[in-house]
A = this chain, B = another copy of it.
């Protein structure tokens, strides 16, 4: 069955998210995936490094779709941005503050120690930024303002995850949700003024 590769990726996504890259052993991943040792090196000949690169890319795409879904679900972009932060907070509560961003911990761990994985995380972050930028432009934010604003929103989300997981409260996520909604509203008003 080829599902073994999928189970390994699912397990590594979970464990990297909770414990990081260096904190997660190959044996632990395989135990959670219910897969034998040899299977890993068959599907990922490059070992842990190749597995991590594949995990980052896959988890990054999945999380982008999850967040994008929230940003398109509600009535308007301002409300959706705030709700996305609130929703992320609810997920944290539901998972004992474990399931935040799937690649954040790994990104910080490898940024100065593993160039291959650093590039993998950089690509994911860039794709998120591009995606949110497009979404903001469609909603009416001026082209010149959209990318910096996307960058700020994503930074606030990642930063609020750090505070939330450390303090076990969603205060930072809620405060950031309100603040980011205000920034988007202000940007939309500026655009409306300029084109009036």
Contact = CB atoms under 8 A, between A and B. Distances in A.
A40 interface: no
A105 B176 CA distance: 20
A2 interface: no
Contacts of A19: 22, 109, 112-113
B167 A122 contact: yes
B105 A109 contact: yes
Interface string A141-177: 0000000110110111111111101111001101110
A157 B178 CA distance: 17
Q: How many copies make up the complex?
A: 2
Interface residues of A, number: 51
A28 to B, nearest CB: 12
A85 to B, nearest CB: 10
A182 interface: yes
Given A155-B172, A179-B152, A98 B122 contact: no
B122 A97 contact: no
A2 B124 CA distance: 46
Contact of A20 (B108, B159, B168): B108
B163 A125 contact: yes
A23 interface: yes
21 contacts: A18-B113, A22-B22, A22-B23, A96-B112, A104-B108, A104-B162, A107-B166, A108-B161, A108-B165, A111-B166, A121-B166, A122-B167, A125-B166, A126-B167, A149-B179, A151-B172, A154-B163, A155-B162, A156-B156, A159-B161, A186-B186
